[in-house]
């Protein structure tokens, strides 16, 4: 229901839920609206700027139910709208999980 209202009010944006994970435990969740014509190579930069963290694609996944797709395997020219159409969850959000444990330990 929430997604339908968001899509109606903001038809040029895609609802995204970003889950930050530390030691395999979710530590925070962020709901964002990102322009649907955003190229995949820019998505993580935009998300990182929005939540104030530098996100590394090596430790980032798109999730749909029990399916986890490494973000680094996405083509650079794919648009967020295409990811939305292919990977949105039943609730209508695209879930992106970022493991900050690995990011923090590799610096």
Q: Does domain 2-105 have CATH number 3.90.1150.10?
A: no
The alpha-carbon radius of gyration of the chain (Å, integer) is: 13
Cβ atoms within 10 A of the Cβ of 86, count? Answer: 12
- Alpha carbons 24 and 37: distance in angstroms, whole number: 31
Please say if the pLDDT value at position 10 is more than 60: yes
Please say if the pLDDT value at position 15 is more than 70: yes
pLDDT recorded at residue 20: 85
Please say if the pLDDT value at position 38 is more than 80: yes
For the record, the structure tokens of 11 come out as 């038809």
For the record, the structure tokens of 32 come out as 């964002």
Q: What is the mean pLDDT of residues 3-26?
A: 86
Given phi > 0 = left and psi -120 to 50 = alpha, else beta, which region is 86?
Answer: alpha
Helix pair angle (80-87, 40-51), 10° resolution:
90
- Alpha carbons 95 and 80: distance in angstroms, whole number: 12
pTM over 0.85: no
pLDDT recorded at residue 13: 94
pLDDT recorded at residue 11: 92
94 versus 23: the higher-pLDDT residue is: 94
pLDDT in tens, 41-99: 788 788 778 877 776 655 677 777 666 666 654 555 688 898 889 888 988 898 888 87
Element (H, E) at 80: helix 80-87
């Amino acid at each position: 229901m929430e997604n339908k209202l968001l899509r109606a009010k903001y038809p040029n944006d895609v609802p995204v839920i970003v889950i930050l994970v530390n030691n395999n435990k979710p530590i925070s969740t962020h709901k964002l609206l990102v322009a649907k014509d955003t190229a995949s190579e820019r998505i993580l930069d935009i998300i990182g700027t929005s939540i104030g963290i530098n996100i590394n694609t090596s430790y980032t996944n798109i999730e749909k139910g029990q399916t986890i797709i490494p973000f680094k395997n996405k083509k650079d020219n794919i648009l967020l709208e295409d990811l939305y159409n292919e990977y949105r969850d039943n609730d209508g959000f695209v879930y992106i999980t970022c493991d900050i444990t690995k990011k923090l330990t590799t610096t």
